[in-house]
Amino acid sequence: MERKDFIRKGLMGTGMFVASASVGNIIKNDIDELKELEVIGFNHLPNTESKVKANTVLHKADTRGHANHGWLDSHHSFSFANYYNPDRMHFGVLRVLNDDRVDGGKGFGRHPHDNMEIISIPLEGDLEHKDSMDNVAVIKHGDIQAMSAGTGIFHSEYNKNEDQDARFLQIWLFPKSKNITPRYDQLTLNVEDRHNNLQQVLSPNADDAGVSINQDAWFHMGKFDKDFTTEYKLKNPANGVYAFVLKGDITIEDNDLNQRDGLGIWDASSISIKANSQDAEVLLMEVPMSV
Amino acid sequence: METVKVNILAIGRHEEILETVLRIINKSENWIAQGALTDEKAIALFEEQKFDIVLLSGGIKEECEAELRATFTQKDPEIIIIQHYGGGSGLLSNEIIYALSKRTISPNLNS
pLDDT higher for A9 or A15? A9
What's the whole-number average pLDDT of chain B?
89
Where does the pLDDT of residue B88 fall: very low under 50, low under 70, confident under 90, or very high at 90 and above?
low
**ipTM entry:** 0.85
pLDDT score of A82: 87
Kindly list the residues from chain A whose CB atom is less than 8 angstroms away from the CB atom of residue B109: none
pLDDT the model gives residue A1: 37
- Tell me whether residue B33 is in a domain: yes
**Higher-pLDDT residue of A139, B105:** A139
Q: Are B88 and B45 in contact (CB under 8 A)?
A: no
Inside any domain, residue B111? no
Q: Is residue A43 in a domain?
A: no
- Does pLDDT of A35 surpass 70? no
Do residue A20 and residue B104 have CB atoms under 8 angstroms apart? no
Question: Does residue B26 fall inside a structural domain?
Answer: yes
CB within 8 Å: B97 and A84 = yes
Interface of B with A (CB under 8 A): 3-6, 12-14, 16-17, 20, 23-24, 27-31, 57-62, 83, 85-94, 96-98, 100-104, 106-107
Question: How many other C-beta atoms can be found within 10 angstroms of the C-beta atom of residue A272?
Answer: 13
3-state secondary structure of A191: helix
pLDDT at A16 over 70: no
Structural domains of chain A, count: 1
pTM of the model: 0.86
The pLDDT value recorded for residue A49 is 57
Condensed to tens digits (0 to 9), the pLDDT of residues A117-152 reads 999 999 999 999 999 999 999 999 999 999 999 999
Domain count, chain B: 1
Q: Tell whether B1 is covered by a domain.
A: no
Q: Which domain holds residue B31?
A: 19-101
**Amino acid A291: pLDDT:** 79
Query: Is A30–B93 a contact, with Cβ atoms under 8 angstroms apart?
Result: yes
Give per-residue pLDDT as tens, A161-210: 999 999 999 999 999 999 999 999 999 999 999 999 999 999 999 999 99
Q: Please give the average per-residue pLDDT across A260-266, as a whole number.
A: 97
User: CA-based angle B25:B26:B28, to the nearest 5?
Assistant: 80
Sign of CA dihedral A208, A211, A213, A216: negative
pLDDT score of A8 more than 70: no
Using alpha carbons, select from B9, B52, B53 the residue that is nearest to residue B34. B9
**CB contact (8 A) between residue A152 and residue B58:** yes
Residues of A in contact with B100 (CB under 8 A): 18, 20, 22-23
For chains A and B, CB pairs below 8 A equal 135
The verdict on residue B43 lying in a domain is yes
The CATH code of the domain that includes A277 is 2.60.120.10
Encode pLDDT of A221-254 as tens digits: 999 999 999 999 999 999 999 999 999 999 999 9
Question: What pLDDT is attached to residue A24?
Answer: 36
DSSP B11-26: E-S-HHHHHHHHHHHH
- Is residue B91 domain-resident? yes
Q: Whole domain around residue A190: which residue ranges?
A: 3-13+48-287
What stretches of chain B show up as alpha helix (H) in DSSP? 15-27, 39-48, 62-75, 92-101
User: Are A111 and B89 in contact (CB < 8 Å)?
Assistant: yes
